[in-house]
Structure formats: structure tokens, C-alpha cells
Amino acid sequence: MIMIEGPFLRRDNGPSFLRPFPEDRPRKGRNMASEQLKNHLKGNCLGRRNAATYQELAQTFHISEKELQRQVNRLRKNQVPICGGQDGMFYARNAGELYNTIQNLKVMAAGLEQVIASLEGALENFGEVQDGAGVDG
């Protein structure tokens, strides 16, 4: 029996080119990077006084600020108490710091809801969409 291995063959799911959405499973590297970020923040950025900017953290981890935001959101969804403010990102030292971040996020969410409602109102002014794609022409 001949065993074939290579970049396109996965023993657990068959050839990778037959899987339409290979990103369905979380990547080990992403989880590890998130864990490193959590440990860095907890060890070096504990409390508001020790906040680090997005730019500093992105440079430290050699990732884009957008990827940093994704990782922060991933950690927050896993109940890791990462806070943010004008001074940057930090690991919550106490409940008050975490509460302030929660309140700031609620204000941001309310603002987004208002923007969405306004844009939906503007959408009504356009009438029916010609081709269903909503593309200006």
C-alpha cells in the first residue's frame, strides 16, 4: 500500500482542495498568537497605567493593527478582560477598569445602531434597486 502525503492531503478530511472552506476550523497559529497576546498584556500591560498602543502591540507581535483587533476581539469573546481606552490596550487590573471599557463599548454600539438606522432611512430614498446588486451606475 502506498501512502501519499503532501500539502493537499489531510488524513482527517481528505484532500484540502476538496474542502470549500478550509478556514472553518480555527488555526493553531491564531490561537497560539492570541494566547501570547493575552500573556503579554497580563504580564506587561496590567492596568490602565501600563496601557500599550495598538501600534506598539502590532509592532511587538509583527502583525497588522487589524489583525491585532481581531485577536483582541477573539480573546474578549472568550471572557479575557482586555480593556481599551485613549491610552491604548491593557489587561484589567480591577472590575472598575473592565466596567469602563464595557460602558465605552456600549456607547460605540449605540452609535453604530444610529448610523445603521440612518443609512436604512437613506436606502428607502433610493427606491427599488435596479439589478439587485446595489451598484451605482
15 vs 9: CA distance, rounded Å = 4
Cell of 31: 490561537
Task: Please give the pLDDT value at position 137.
Answer: 52
Domains of the chain, residue spans: 27-123
126 vs 112: CA distance, rounded Å = 21
- List of long-range contacts for 13-19, beta carbons under 8 Å, 24+ apart: none
Task: Please give the pLDDT value at position 61.
Answer: 93
- Is residue 38 within 8 Å of residue 83, measured between CB atoms? no
Which position has the higher pLDDT, 103 or 13? 103
User: What is the pTM for the complete model shown?
Assistant: 0.68
List pLDDT tens digits, range 58-77. 999 999 999 999 999 999 99
What's the CATH class of domain 27-123? mainly alpha
97 vs 91: CA distance, rounded Å = 9
